[in-house]
């Protein structure tokens, strides 16, 4: 996966996560709020680890 596609994917994950957070704030039923918040948290963590892995691989390539 090249760098541009990777950052587009990370940006897509963050947009979806932010949208889920907005829905969780608007919806009044507690079970949906907890489900959307957990989905937001999982997407945020996945995006964070993907970005961290990509940044570390870029650092490794620049050291060679």
DSSP states along 23-60: HHHH---HHHHHHHHHHHHHHHHHHHHHHHHHHHHHHH
More confident residue, 64 or 31: 31
Tell me what pLDDT residue 2 has: 65
Contact assessment for residue 22 and residue 36, using Cβ atoms and an 8 Å cutoff: no
Average per-residue pLDDT for the chain: 74
Tell me what pLDDT residue 3 has: 65
Does pTM surpass 0.75?
no
Calpha distance 9→24 (Å, rounded): 23
Q: Answer whether residue 1 shows pLDDT above 60.
A: no
Instruction: Name the residue ranges covered by the structural domains of the chain.
Output: 10-57
Query: Taking residues 21-33, what's their average pLDDT?
Result: 71
- pLDDT of 3-12, one tens digit each? 667 777 777 8
């Amino acid at each position: 996966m090249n760098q541009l596609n990777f950052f587009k994917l990370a940006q897509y994950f963050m947009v979806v996560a932010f949208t889920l957070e907005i829905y969780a704030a608007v919806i009044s039923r507690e079970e949906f709020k907890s489900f959307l918040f957990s989905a937001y948290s999982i997407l945020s963590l996945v995006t964070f680890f993907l970005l961290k892995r990509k940044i570390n691989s870029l650092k490794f390539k620049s050291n060679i």
